Amino acid sequence: MDDFKRPSADSGDDKAGGKAERFSRSGFIFAAIGSSVGLGNMWKFPYITGLYGGAAFFLLFTICLLLIGIPVLLAEMAIGRGGRGSPAVALVRLSGQKIWGGFGLLSIIGAFFIMSFYAVVAGWTLHYGVLTFSRALGEGTDFAGEFFDFIGGFLPVMWQLVVMLITGWIVLRGASGIEKFNKILIPSLVVILLFLMVRVLMLDGAGAGVEFFLKPDFSKLTNESVLVALGHAFFSLSLGMGTMLTYGAYMDRQQSLGSAALAVGGGDLLYALLAGLIIFPTTFAFGIEPGQGPGLAFIALPAAFSAMPAGWLFGGLFFILLAIAALTSCVSLLEVPVAYSMDRWRWGRPKATIVTSVLCFLVGIPSAISVGGAVGGLHWGPRSFFDWTDFIASNIILPLGGLIVTVFVGYVWRDAGREAGLTAGWFIVWLFILRYVAPLLIVLVFLHSSGILKF
């Protein structure tokens, strides 16, 4: 049990190798928004909104995020700060029971899996940024052919390596480096988003896209929409993988957890709103079908941008935006196994960062080359290696991790209320959600997304 001794509050002795790392108050908010705002907001959210019901789906997503996502986010942050440690040790310290160490293992497996395909897609965005800025994607290009040729080759591995190098370089600098990086990039993201939004809202026909995104038609919803919305609220807030828990461990003791969780959840929602206000007006103005799935950002949008005056500039900015959002999330994903190995095996940060970055890169290679079929034989059953890792991480590990967090705070950890610092009324609401509502819904999402139950 010695490994899991409760550290003396903030004495700084709770990390390997001396002084504990900390975020400043605003640093935590920026880093956590950086983690939550990512490809989930800019790439996945628009295409699932297109597929599962437009504005009505957006409304459902908002409700799931506020009602379930924020309480679970608060729970993860409280565990991280209360246990002052990574998922490897925080739950064990708080409960005194070794069995909760399993969550740590689950979260590093989850982080590795997500990272392995996430860094690949992040690499695509860099490649498309370069292509668009160099004006290689002019009007009349065969955009679908271009995309499939690219992902079917070996170039994605090179871009994935670039993503891992940048990510590793930032994580190497620890909490203060992560904070600095996010404090520069997250505001830049808003500026680019607003600039692009103003431009696309001026396009002829943009209004139909705004209507599709903001005027709900409830007849478009299915039972599946509800589950997809909840699953996405978890993915978008980076829950269930120990990322928010790991960042929570670097939080200031005096910072209010409730307002931090609201700020992060609200920030994530705002970015999703802005992304939708760019993507739907653009697709509608150019007569592109919004429900076409994952190709939306890499095939449909470059086509639309190429038809705009100075489209290379707007298209290039769009891909820079995607790349920044993806990198800030990659940093939080890599930090999970890095913090874990520092806590668990007392490694120093440089060793932890180098070893885990190399491993993440290696695990990601099969993803990078399987999705476009560059190498045959990396398909099992209906899915490629890439699709399997996405499926296992997003549909199985993520809900399972979320369930563990809700059960732990709802039923096991007695001091959760004190750590969260909520008023008595809010505490009751929070506990009610964590004990009854969230676990039930998470189990439903799990049964549905793993294919066990069909609705």
Residues of this chain that interact with ligand PHE (CB under 6 A) are 35-36, 38-41, 114, 235-236, 238, 241, 243, 329, 332-333
**Inter-residue contact 105 to 289 (CB < 8 Å):** no
How buried is 417 (Cβ within 10 angstroms: 0-12 exposed, 13-18 middle, 19+ buried)?
A: middle
Nearer to ligand PHE among residue 77 and residue 422 (C-beta):
77
Tell the smallest beta-carbon distance from residue 33 to ligand PHE (Å).
Answer: 10
Give the Cα separation of 294 and 179 in Å (integer): 31
Nearer to ligand PHE among residue 43 and residue 284 (C-beta):
43
Tell the smallest beta-carbon distance from residue 108 to ligand PHE (Å).
Answer: 12
Nearer to ligand PHE among residue 332 and residue 395 (C-beta):
332
Nearer to ligand PHE among residue 206 and residue 333 (C-beta):
333
Nearer to ligand PHE among residue 40 and residue 82 (C-beta):
40
Sheet strands (E) in 104-228: none
Tell the smallest beta-carbon distance from residue 235 to ligand PHE (Å).
Answer: 5
Backbone phi and psi for residue 254, each to the nearest 5 degrees, phi listed first: -85, -15
Nearer to ligand PHE among residue 390 and residue 419 (C-beta):
390
Amino acid at 364: G
**Inter-residue contact 129 to 320 (CB < 8 Å):** yes
Tell the smallest beta-carbon distance from residue 391 to ligand PHE (Å).
Answer: 14
Tell the smallest beta-carbon distance from residue 37 to ligand PHE (Å).
Answer: 6
How buried is 450 (Cβ within 10 angstroms: 0-12 exposed, 13-18 middle, 19+ buried)?
A: middle
Tell the smallest beta-carbon distance from residue 417 to ligand PHE (Å).
Answer: 26
Neighbours of 156 (CB within 10 A): 26
Tell the smallest beta-carbon distance from residue 336 to ligand PHE (Å).
Answer: 8
Give the Cα separation of 409 and 412 in Å (integer): 6
User: What are the structure tokens assigned to 97, written together?
Assistant: 């029971």
Nearer to ligand PHE among residue 71 and residue 311 (C-beta):
71
Phi-psi sector, 251: left (phi>0), alpha (psi -120 to 50), beta:
beta
Tell the smallest beta-carbon distance from residue 40 to ligand PHE (Å).
Answer: 2
**Inter-residue contact 332 to 237 (CB < 8 Å):** no
Give the Cα separation of 132 and 305 in Å (integer): 9
**Inter-residue contact 88 to 104 (CB < 8 Å):** yes
Nearer to ligand PHE among residue 282 and residue 394 (C-beta):
394
**Inter-residue contact 247 to 31 (CB < 8 Å):** yes
Nearer to ligand PHE among residue 77 and residue 303 (C-beta):
77
Backbone phi and psi for residue 379, each to the nearest 5 degrees, phi listed first: -115, 135
Nearer to ligand PHE among residue 235 and residue 298 (C-beta):
235
Tell the smallest beta-carbon distance from residue 425 to ligand PHE (Å).
Answer: 30
Give the Cα separation of 297 and 354 in Å (integer): 32
Give the Cα separation of 69 and 52 in Å (integer): 19
Tell the smallest beta-carbon distance from residue 114 to ligand PHE (Å).
Answer: 5
Nearer to ligand PHE among residue 160 and residue 329 (C-beta):
329
Backbone phi and psi for residue 222, each to the nearest 5 degrees, phi listed first: -125, 175
Nearer to ligand PHE among residue 116 and residue 238 (C-beta):
238
**Inter-residue contact 63 to 269 (CB < 8 Å):** no
Distance of CA 338 to the CA centre of its chain: 17
Tell the smallest beta-carbon distance from residue 360 to ligand PHE (Å).
Answer: 13
Residue nearest to ligand PHE (CB): 40
Tell the smallest beta-carbon distance from residue 327 to ligand PHE (Å).
Answer: 11
Contacts of 94 (CB under 8 A, 6+ apart): 79, 82, 83, 408, 413, 415
Give the Cα separation of 53 and 410 in Å (integer): 33
**Inter-residue contact 313 to 116 (CB < 8 Å):** no
Token pair 């909490």: residue:
175
